[in-house]
A = this chain, B = another copy of it.
Amino acid sequence: MSGKALAVGPACPVPAQDVERVQLGHGSGGKLSRQLLRDRFLPRFSNPALDLLGDGAVLPATGSSRLAMSTDTFVVRPLEFPGGNIGTLAVHGTLNDVAMMGARPMALSAGFVLEEGLPLDLLDRILDAMAEAARQAGVDLVAGDTKVVERGKADGLYISTTGLGLIADGFTPSPQAAEVGDVVLVSGPIGCHGVTILATRGDIGFEVETESDTASLHPLVERLRKSCGDAVHVLRDPTRGGVASALNEIAEASDIGVELDGIEKAVPAPVQGACEMLGLDPLYVANEGILVAFIAASAADQALAVLQGHPLGREARIIGRAVDRHPGMVVARTGLGGTRIVDLLPGAQLPRIC
């Protein structure tokens, strides 16, 4: 065991031309790893739990509350797009899953897979966006981890985030809780995120004037909870697989049918146009800043007003109802007076959309 031989042995010296990029050594738990952490992560996410630099965070668990825990992984291509980047998505997406459980987000952790050669200024922009998104949501990143893989073994970077939240007593929306008669609302326009990603990566072949809707939805949930409480049966953010997949999952979990009426009005013209050119259905296109809610009919007007009173919900609208016909199935009225079945897609519509 010779320490001296080692220090100059199999350890990677850093080639001067590469100091602007991620090196394999950034992932090895030595000085470079620490430097990455100290120079790039800590200044942006500094908080008492994270600053201790342990392998995890200690959080207070108060009273007899229940905790919500959710994990999501982000592999969106490209890494940056109008309206946000993979970092914004990684914060919003996971905090939104926590919010949809009726919980107030309280902490976030993140695991990064970095590809060797990733430009550090791109990493900086992504971390900046994460920090800003977390700050706006009022949540600290309390623990994290980075690994580096060889060039060609990832696509820039992947981020996995886990969110923790505290569930307020007596507020328990869940995909199982939809009831026949519930009104189905959507808090904003449909399809903006997915179409923006397609346009940015050139899959469309023409420009589209859309932006990703990526946003933290907890403020909307908080308003719904305060004004409608128990009448809020289901909350869901229709991300991958779009509104159609979210509604199908709820219909199945609650054993009710869903009848959509006028949902095409929730699709902005640029999204509609892009989808028509591509033969895509906007109902299957991912969203990152809207929620679908099943609300008891008696509270539906109140819920709609509350949503519309917040900037994120200005274009909220009623898109359908829960019915006792065709349980487990989602059906849309078409413009011609007929109906069509809105099923789960068999496979991939839009890979790597989030």
Q: Could you list which residues of chain A lie within 8 angstroms of chain B, going by C-beta atoms?
A: 1-7, 9-14, 23-25, 27-34, 52-75, 97-98, 100-101, 107, 109-113, 142-150, 152-155, 158, 160, 162-164, 166-167, 174-176, 236-237, 239-242, 245, 249, 253, 264, 267, 272, 275, 278-284, 332, 340-352
Contact = CB atoms under 8 A, between A and B. Distances in A.
B71 A144 contact: yes
A348 B71 contact: no
Given A61-B65, A113-B158, A341-B3, A75 B147 contact: yes
A63 B65 CA distance: 9
8 contacts: A14-B347, A24-B348, A29-B241, A30-B245, A32-B346, A53-B249, A71-B143, A160-B160
Contact of A67 (B59, B146, B155, B253): B59
The 4 lowest CB-CB distance pairs between A and B, nearest first, are A56-B70, A25-B347, A29-B241, A160-B160
A31 B345 contact: yes
Contact of A176 (B4, B52, B174): B52
B61 A30 contact: no
A284 B275 CA distance: 54
The prevalent SS among residues of A at the interface is mixed
A332 B4 CA distance: 13
Q: How many copies does the complex hold?
A: 2
B280 A6 contact: yes
Given A3-B281, A71-B144, A154-B154, A101 B264 contact: no
Contacts of A14: 346-347
B143 A69 contact: yes
B71 A162 contact: yes
Nearest to A155: B153
A12 B351 CA distance: 10
Contacts of A344: 30-31, 34
B54 A175 contact: yes
